[in-house]
Amino acid sequence: MDQTHTSFTGISIQVSLSGYSFKVASPQEIRQSDWMGAERLFTTPEFQRRYDRVEISLLTPKVALVPDVFFNPDSVRKALSEVVALEETDKVEWVEVPDFSSVLLFSNSIGESLSRVLAQTVLPASGNPVRVLPELYYLLSLLEAIQDYNKIVASWMDGWLHLVIAQGKTLRLANVFQAPDFTTAEYFLFLAMKRLQLNPEVSTVCFHTPLSPDAEMSLYRYFKSVVQL
């Protein structure tokens, strides 16, 4: 795992229905917050400045990754509705994932407004609000920096497990599972690994969302290593 410090100042923020967490990276340090409630938004000092890079992810379960050869921008809603339940008022979007020759279809309409407030509050140096993208998009982008052959990256919050698995440069899985508790999240994680014939004992699992001490200890019982990104 490449843990080298970055040469610029950036902030990445993860948002879900229950709140948010963030990580600030600078030449001097890398700091990650715990999961925080929305009531702390305007008193968080890290949100009162501008950054070279700003990333805001929303842990939306309304996502689907499709090969770019099958992508049709005129049928995004139809394609996404075949995989997830969409309301008529849900806004649908898409973003390219060129590293895997794919397109991520998604809807950020999950009944929250925090991500939009953050996008207007935490700005890059240009002053232009960044686009809020799904957590799954950022999990996919993290794979390249992982040196292990088995690359397992996950996030869990508010009843959903977001999981991507790759071997070398080959993406094996990118999906979201309904998991009301961490035990259920572990069940889907191990089920996916079993179906892909991956051995946890020789694999490192990486979590992008904060892990409680109990959750981290539980994962250590099965995996070679546990890393919080």
Tell me the C-alpha distance between 180 and 202, whole Å: 27
Question: pLDDT of 170-210, one tens digit each?
Answer: 999 999 999 999 999 999 999 999 999 999 988 899 999 98
- Read off the pLDDT of each residue in 142-148 and give the average, rounded to a whole number: 90
Q: Please give the tally of structural domains in the chain.
A: 2
Do 100 and 124 reside in the same domain of the chain?
no
For the stretch 71-85, pLDDT in tens is 999 999 999 999 999
Structure confidence by residue, pLDDT tens digits, 114-133: 999 999 999 999 999 999 99
The residue from 104, 135, 170 where one domain ends is 104
- Do 152 and 88 share a domain, yes or no? no
Do 19 and 76 lie in one domain? The reply is no
Quick one: 155 and 204 in the same domain? yes
- Paired with 16 in beta bridges are 19
Examine the domain organization and report whether 200 and 221 are in the same domain. yes
CATH code of the domain in which 39 resides? 3.30.420.260
The residue range of the domain holding 83 is: 65-104
pTM value is 0.90
Domain annotation covers residue 115:
yes
Is pLDDT at 107 greater than 90 in this prediction? yes
The string of pLDDT tens digits covering residues 24-72 is 988 877 888 889 888 888 888 899 889 999 999 999 999 999 999 999 9
